[in-house]
Amino acid sequence: MKGDYGKMMKQFQQMQAEMAKVEKELEDERVEASAGGGAVKVVASGKQQLVELKIDPSAVDPEDVEMLEETIIAAVNEVMREAQELAAKKLGRLTGGMGLPGL
């Protein structure tokens, strides 16, 4: 029984090390999305942090700020969805679909 526990702890420590490595990789990964025919482009890290936002000057209409706001929201929502998928894919390889909370 002690041998099994030691083996399990070693596997757990290896998984922790691999997860830390993947977390670091996700910080460096980038996903990009756009909306409004490319009028708004956003880039997020694999850690789901918005790192870049570009707005085509032609998309800025003082008479229709609401349209620009909606376009930004659409682009940010899409890039965050893509960042979540990237993280789930990378972390899913480690957890083997164990469904660990927070992953």
- Please state the rounded mean pLDDT for residues 28-45: 95
Name, of 24-33, 74-83, 86-95, the range with top average pLDDT.
74-83
Q: What is the pTM of this model?
A: 0.72
- Please state the rounded mean pLDDT for residues 41-49: 93
- Please state the rounded mean pLDDT for residues 46-53: 93
Q: For residue 30, what is the enclosing H or E element? A: strand 30-35
Specify the fold of 2-95: Ybab; Chain: A; (3.30.1310)
Contact 81, 42 (CB under 8 A): no
Contact 44, 80 (CB under 8 A): yes
Q: In a 3-state reduction of DSSP, which class is residue 90?
A: helix
Question: Following DSSP, what letter does each residue of 33-89 receive, concatenated?
Answer: EEETTTTEEEEEETTS-EEEEEE-GGG--TT-HHHHHHHHHHHHHHHHHHHHHHHHH
- Please state the rounded mean pLDDT for residues 12-40: 90
